[in-house]
């Protein structure tokens, strides 16, 4: 046995549910995603397959596979044109705006690539309800109407009722409240929906269970299948929509992107009313001058970084496969990239972002460190100006809570 295998054996199983975790016994979505991802061999696709996928009227899984393959790389310009057409058809010239609000950065997981992980000696903080309200007031005053509430993944430090109270406050100041918190059970999602939240984002990080095991060494988050069924539980809890993402570059990004798209596709087929969307975070290659995005170089080097070109290919493939899906462009990307992908494939962009704790309101001294360094620090006005500059329309809200 290798040393790595010995170490792995010493860790708890990442495939076994912990006692408090709900199991969706009647769902085989995760199984389908994993088996199809395993079978996906992107090397077998040719230029002819890509051309066929591009010219197809409606695109299926085989088309999606071809568009994610290396054979599609030379067709990126054409993919971008088609993607822009589809984005226009389904979203017109609207670009939706939101901002994330980090209310706590306590985390009890050990994810080797993340700035918030429990072994990192960062300043931890959790906002109390007054502070959350101050932060929300400050954000709402900028004109934003959609908020995404985030916590580090610690059920102990930020329990469901704490998040629920944050949602109730948010519903007073914002038209749309999204959540990006640790995965929870259906009844928890139902409770948070009652509190005013209507959209749940869960990053699977990687869909490769073996790689996942190596990257998530401890904590609730280590349990791979519980995380994978989070979106389905959220929908069963009554949420209007769910968002999907792999942190591209943690593992083979083509397979992860395929699994992400397939996961969304299968869930929407099962729950046709569900709104789905994608986020597209990536680990980027390290060059001399380039900023890292919070990950240590040692970690990044073990990964499979994704170039801007490759990221755009993935975004276009998502758009061409599921033209009706929303797509959010991360603040990890530089302004020049973000400005060009809105209206092309992305439909939603954040503005006035800070990933620290207590950093929106002037009356709160920033207490907790940032999760990652952002590459686009523009405020709402600046982002709106950039959107209009591209002939697009900034939209603060297109949503009614029912």
Partner 1 sequence: MKTDKLTIGGHEFDSRFILGSGKYSVKLIEAAVKQAGAQIITLALRRANSAGEGNILDYIPEGVTLLPNTSGARNAEEAIRIARLARELGCGDFVKIEVIRDSKYLLPDNYETIRATEVLAKEGFIVMPYMYPDLNAARDLRDAGAAAVMPLASPIGSNKGLSTRDFIRILVDEIDLPIIVDAGIGRPSQACEAMEMGVDAIMANTAIATAGDIPAMAEAFKKAIEAGRAAYLSGPGRVIEQGGAASSPLTGFLQEEEEA
Q: Which residues bind partner 1 (CB under 8 A)?
A: 88-94, 143, 145, 175, 268, 272-276, 322, 324, 384, 393-400, 402
- Min dist CB 126 to partner 1, Å, is 30
- Min dist CB 158 to partner 1, Å, is 29
Q: How far apart are CA 99 and CA 392, in angstroms?
A: 19
- Min dist CB 355 to partner 1, Å, is 25
- Of 38 and 388, nearer to partner 1 (C-beta) is 388
- Min dist CB 96 to partner 1, Å, is 10
- The answer to whether residues 246 and 205 touch, using CB atoms and an 8 Å cutoff, is yes
- Of 268 and 355, nearer to partner 1 (C-beta) is 268
- Min dist CB 240 to partner 1, Å, is 8
Q: How far apart are CA 37 and CA 313, in angstroms?
A: 18
- Of 257 and 380, nearer to partner 1 (C-beta) is 380
- The answer to whether residues 279 and 328 touch, using CB atoms and an 8 Å cutoff, is yes
**Listed residue (185, 162, 220) closest to 22, CA to CA:** 185
- Min dist CB 175 to partner 1, Å, is 7
Q: How far apart are CA 215 and CA 204, in angstroms?
A: 12
- Min dist CB 89 to partner 1, Å, is 5
Q: How far apart are CA 331 and CA 53, in angstroms?
A: 30
- Run of H or E including 165: helix 160-173
- Give the three-class secondary structure for 279: strand
- Of 39 and 400, nearer to partner 1 (C-beta) is 400
- Of 19 and 272, nearer to partner 1 (C-beta) is 272
**Listed residue (59, 113, 119) closest to 86, CA to CA:** 59
356: burial class by Cβ within 10 Å (0-12, 13-18, 19+)?
middle
- Of 17 and 324, nearer to partner 1 (C-beta) is 324
User: What's the half-sphere exposure (Cβ side, CA atoms, 13 Å) at 148?
Assistant: 26
**Listed residue (376, 375, 377, 378) closest to 289, CA to CA:** 375
- Of 114 and 392, nearer to partner 1 (C-beta) is 392
């Amino acid at each position: 046995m290798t040393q790595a295998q010995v170490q792995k054996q010493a860790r708890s199983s990442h495939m076994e549910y912990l006692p408090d975790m709900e199991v969706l016994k009647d769902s085989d979505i995760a199984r389908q995603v994993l088996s199809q991802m395993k079978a996906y061999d992107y090397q077998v696709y040719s230029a002819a397959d890509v051309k066929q996928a591009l010219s197809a009227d409606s695109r299926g899984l085989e088309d999606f596979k071809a568009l994610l393959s290396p054979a599609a790389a030379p067709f990126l310009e054409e993919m971008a044109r088609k993607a822009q057409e589809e984005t226009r058809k389904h979203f017109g010239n609207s670009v939706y705006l939101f901002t994330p609000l980090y209310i706590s950065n306590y985390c009890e997981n050990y994810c080797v690539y993340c700035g918030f992980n429990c072994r990192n000696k960062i300043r931890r903080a959790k906002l109390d309800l007054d502070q959350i309200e101050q932060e929300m007031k400050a954000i709402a005053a900028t004109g934003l109407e959609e908020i995404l509430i985030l916590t580090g993944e610690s059920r102990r430090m930020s329990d469901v009722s704490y998040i629920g109270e944050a949602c109730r406050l948010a519903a007073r100041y914002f038209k749309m409240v999204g959540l990006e918190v640790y995965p929870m059970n259906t009844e928890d999602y139902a409770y948070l929906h009652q509190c005013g939240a209507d959209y749940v984002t869960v990053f699977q990080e990687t869909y490769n269970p073996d790689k996942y095991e190596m990257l998530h060494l401890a904590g609730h988050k280590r349990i791979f299948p519980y995380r994978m069924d989070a979106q389905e539980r959220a929908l069963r809890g009554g949420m209007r929509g769910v968002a999907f993402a792999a942190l591209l570059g943690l593992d083979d990004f083509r397979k992860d992107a395929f699994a992400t798209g397939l996961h969304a596709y299968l869930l929407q087929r099962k729950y046709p009313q569900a709104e789905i969307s994608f986020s597209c975070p990536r680990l980027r290659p390290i060059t001399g001058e380039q900023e890292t995005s919070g990950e240590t170089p040692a970690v990044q080097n073990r990964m499979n970084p994704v170039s801007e070109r490759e990221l755009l290919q993935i975004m276009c493939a998502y758009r061409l496969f599921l033209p009706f899906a929303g797509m959010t462009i991360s603040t990890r990307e530089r302004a020049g990239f973000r400005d060009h992908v809105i209206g092309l494939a992305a439909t939603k962009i954040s503005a006035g972002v800070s990933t620290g704790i207590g950093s929106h309101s002037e009356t709160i001294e920033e207490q907790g460190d940032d999760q990652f360094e952002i590459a686009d620090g523009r405020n709402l006005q600046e982002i709106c100006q950039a959107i209009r500059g591209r002939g697009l329309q900034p939209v603060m809200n297109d949503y009614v809570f029912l």
